[in-house]
Structure 1
Amino acid sequence: MPTSAHPQQQRLLHGLDALGLDPALATPLLAYLDLLQRWNRTYNLTAIRDPDAMVVLHLLDSLAMAAHVGGLRTLADLGTGPGLPGIPLAITHPQLQVALVESNGKKARFLREAVRTLGLGNARVLEARAEAVAEPGAFEAITARALATLPDILAVGGHLLAADGQLLAMKGTRPDQEIAALPAGWRLLSVEALSVPGLGAERHLVRVGRANAPA
């Protein structure tokens, strides 16, 4: 477990403070980071290897959307890879039931170990492609951080959303071309700029819902 001398602790604490999150979250978040670093040496789960960069680009980038999932009960993280943003969000919101959807075997093995090691009773691993997950309408929201375009995410994961569910897509620059290409039956709800502590690049959260769902 991380100690008070963890080299990345101060960077993470500053970021948590900027995001208005409980500093006590630093302990489980750093435990997850340490586990990811250990597994990454053998399994190459992420191309980002510098621990300071991991804090910003993995932890804080994921947590930038934490305030936007606070009222949710169920979330599916599609193509979660090593658990981003799903695991940081599950740590931050114990009441949120998070399904970590990942088809890559070695990443799924890491996810199961992370869930077990961190004691995340509110997270489960679905080792499958998103389109193969047979839980139609089971989630209030789906998210994807690095998975394809908005239309592609909806094509593979739209069936998982409840009637009034939303896609919460994490994007860099505002994806106007993707928004213009939303398939029939879906509509843009909002585009919100996110601030990631320590990161100069743009980040946006794009909300998409069914065209016939209440606003």
Structure 2
Amino acid sequence: MKVAVVFYSTYGHVYQLAQAIADGASGVDGADAELYQVAETLPDEVLKKMGALEARKAFADVPEATTDVLAEADAVVFGTPTRFGNMAAQMRTFLDSTGGLWKKGALVGKVGSVFASTATQHGGQETTITSFHTTLLHHGMVVVGVPYSCPELSEMGEITGGTPYGATTLAKDDGSRQPSENELAIARFQGRHVAEIAKKLAG
């Protein structure tokens, strides 16, 4: 059973969540989780001004996602940073290339799930994920979130990301905050939950 974790990351926060998602999914018997990143659309000179070039070296060896990756997977978990309450343009560009899959119904019945990062607590963690779900539903995917059987969702002793729609992290407006253990635990739970549901659907 193949679980594809398809992400876009600017400074590495989403990449760290993607690793945790894959770790969680790989813990399910029979599941094989692989990381893929969507293509960068910004030129290097812009990324350099953003201070992102160095951070992106950490996942430079992660293979690029293609539409074939989605077609061959039993479950796909998408990760994106938030841009004004929506997914990043790089992820949108990739999704806009999946019209051929939609026409063939290639993703119908596959499990789809989403995780995200934002700069602030109220920067669109929920809207980014729930608006992303619209695309998955158009593809006929079975949308999976994070149920409250994940105890870390109810953590109130610290500032933390994490929603019933998917794992999230808070990066701070300068990108200096890294994913917390609580946030990574939610991501691992999500990966495991997605793989378990995909396994059940596979029969």
Structure of larger gyration radius? 1
Common fold: TM-score over 0.5: no
Give the TM-score range, shorter chain. Answer: 0.3 to 0.5
